Amino acid sequence: MSVNIVQNQQLKPIGDKVPIDTTLSSSSENAISNKAVNDEITRINNDLTDKYEWKLLGSVSGQQAIDFPTDYAEIQICITNANEPYLSYVYNFCKPFVQSIGMTSKYFGQGYYKANTDYQSCQLGMNMVGCYLQNLSAVGTNYTSGCTLTVYYR
């Protein structure tokens, strides 16, 4: 853009050309700033969702095994029985611990004992590549065959 320069005076446009204002008004600055902040928050939320949201690996019945994915940081194993909802157990394991188990299956137990007529036991079999329900029983009754083992990962 060409302009006439007069000493000690402001720049004046030649003809009908108007100089471009390169400064932003405060409302424009706020809109751009808010958009940048919102874009960054969205990006961070998406990253966190990808890294920390539980994803369903799958479900199996009874004593069937399920293999772990290779790209996990944590595994959550849920054992449920549709007919006996009080028979529910959850196990959480981080990848370094699972990897330390190796290929020989280890068994992890949960349960309680109050009396001969009030007790439960759940045994989960697991090695570094997968897991399965070994046994779920309550008050002498085996519920293993009616159970569902569901695995989530993140």
- Report pLDDT for 110: 93
Instruction: Specify the pLDDT at position 5.
Output: 45
Give the pLDDT score at 33: 73
Q: What is the pTM of this model?
A: 0.68
Alpha-carbon distance of 115 to 104, in angstroms, equals 34
pLDDT band, residue 29 (cuts 50/70/90): low
Domain segments of the chain: what residues?
55-153
The pLDDT tens digits for 51-68 are 778 999 999 999 999 999
Map residue 115 onto helix, strand or coil: strand
Rounded percentage of the chain residues whose pLDDT exceeds 90: 59
Closest CA to 146 of 79, 94, 48, 70: 79
Task: Pick 122 or 25 by higher pLDDT.
Answer: 122
